[in-house]
Structure 1
Amino acid sequence: TSSSPSPVAGVEREQWSGQLGFLMAAIGSAVGLGNIWRFPGVAYTNGGGAFMVPYIVALLAAGIPILLLDYATGHRYRGSSPTALRRISKRFEWLGWFHVMICFVIMTYYAVIVAWSLRYMLFSLNTAWG
């Protein structure tokens, strides 16, 4: 990332150094822990390779367009989700706060999973299993 002038006087904003760095960060954000952790089991219980067809269709038809819409809205209105949606229309601000709430719930869920993983990793170093 590099710095560039921001609309706020005296504050420099970080910028991506290139498109590849942004693309990799966006993919990592979109994939998330859930896809890595749960996907093999979900694919297995829902037909294996046959599950991939509706999964890819849903990903291309809904997942990626919604992700791009979110990025474009944030880029166009230069703000967080509630700020950007309020700038579009005041009646949409609640949707931005709903987005923030969902992110908070997911973050707390992931924090528990990471804590369990760290605990199991530390337990694997000795015989503290029980």
Structure 2
Amino acid sequence: MTTHTRTTGNARAWIMLLLAGAFEIGYALSVGGSQAFTVPSWSIAAIIFFLLTLYFLSAALKTIDVGIGYAVWAGIGAVGAATFGSLLLDQPLTLGQIGWLAVIIGGVVWLKLADSPRFADKQAAAG
């Protein structure tokens, strides 16, 4: 496999993972709106988002290691649900919570950087 093919496949997997994270946010918000699956429209939306997030996560995990992929997916879902829950559902978000959500964002970014081909090449050359 050429470096270009590996890079293209890796980029595609990360796009799939970002989509899975976006659908996870939709799922979390829909579950909240479904009020324990008693509101049909929110319940249907939750099921659709759930199926979409599972599909895109499983597609991404064909290329990305499960530990890294799951951590990034969960981080995107957590930060997105907290942010959009605050903006759309008037759920309170304290300064302390915002700080810890920033830590999650930083961790997700570093996990992505650590999975980049340049970083892997530097690690291989150093080790």
Scaled by the length of structure 2, the TM-score of the pair is 0.31
The structure with more strand, counted as a fraction of residues:
1
Between Structure 1 and Structure 2, the one with more helix by share is 2
Please report the TM-score for the alignment, with normalisation by the length of structure 1: 0.30
Whichever of the two has the greater Rg, that structure is 1
RCO comparison, higher one (Cα < 8 Å, 6+)? 2
